[in-house]
């Protein structure tokens, strides 16, 4: 026996398919939407439709884009010879927020995971290699996550890119600003020591 009217059940089912939303949360969100005024609910519906219609993947770097190319790729003030390789568009946003990087990006669409059987063929590796000559790239910054999948991906890419004669760098690992040394794990602290730099006196 159906507890809810069919349209309500459908809404709950659809919401329940979103990441991190369980059946109970789906139910709560559904009832919240039902309680909203018509305009408020439609604004959400419209935002979803707009996003789906207008947003695509940038054909150059695979970031989210409103046209063929994303805002970063169309910006001529950016340095086209340096490319920062990230796993997901979310990571690109994180790097962008630092305001330290003025080059372009390349979004891989994930990281290699041998144990899950995710290899280079599942990522946009070929697309990256194709860009090197076409865009006269001189430096590639490997900005994948500092976990085992990200490290594997970075080492694999370094092996592919090095012979092409360009500068291949890996982002440093270190201590979070505002943190305490005694709480740092050995691996991070070890890397922070290894990557130490001279202070200008």
Q: Which residues bind another protein (CB under 8 A)?
A: 20, 112, 114-117, 119-121, 125-126, 146-148, 151-152, 155-156, 159, 176, 179, 183, 185-188, 190
Nearer to another protein, 7 or 114 (CB): 114
**Helix 6-16 and helix 23-35: axis angle, to 10°?**
130
Report how many helices (DSSP H) and strands (DSSP E) the chain contains, helices first.
7, 6
Rounded to an integer, what distance in angstroms lies between the CA atom of residue 197 and that of residue 122? 37
Rounded to a whole number of angstroms, the minimum distance from the CB of residue 177 to another protein is: 10
Question: Measured from the CB atom, is 70 or 161 closer to another protein?
Answer: 161
Q: Given the complex with another protein, which of 74 and 145 has the nearer CB atom?
A: 145
Q: Please state the closest distance from residue 78 (CB atom) to another protein, in A.
A: 26
- Say how far apart CA 174 and CA 148 lie, in whole Å: 16
Determine contact, residues 72/104, Cβ cutoff 8 Å. Answer: yes
Q: Give CA–CA dist 58/74, Å, rounded.
A: 10
Pick the closer one to another protein by CB: 78 or 122: 122
- The minimum distance between CB 117 and another protein, in angstroms, equals 4
């Amino acid at each position: 026996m159906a507890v809810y009217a069919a349209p309500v059940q459908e809404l709950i089912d659809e919401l329940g398919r979103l990441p991190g939303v369980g059946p109970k949360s789906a139910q709560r969100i559904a009832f919240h939407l039902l309680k909203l005024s018509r305009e408020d609910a439609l604004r959400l519906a419209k935002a979803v439709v707009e996003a789906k219609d207008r947003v695509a993947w940038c054909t150059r770097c695979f970031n989210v884009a409103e046209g063929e190319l994303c805002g970063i790729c169309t910006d001529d003030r950016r340095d086209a010879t340096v490319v920062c390789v990230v796993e997901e568009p979310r990571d690109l946003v994180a790097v962008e927020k630092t305001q330290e990087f003025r080059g372009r990006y390349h979004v891989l669409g994930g990281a290699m995971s041998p144990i899950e059987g995710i290899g280079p063929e599942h990522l946009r590796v070929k697309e990256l290699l194709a860009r090197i000559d076409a865009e006269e790239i001189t430096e590639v910054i490997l900005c994948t996550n500092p976990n085992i999948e990200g490290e594997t991906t970075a080492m694999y890419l370094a092996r592919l890119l090095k012979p092409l004669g360009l500068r291949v760098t890996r982002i440093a690992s270190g201590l979070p600003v505002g943190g305490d040394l005694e709480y740092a794990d050995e691996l991070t602290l070890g890397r922070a020591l290894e990557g130490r730099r001279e202070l200008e006196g």
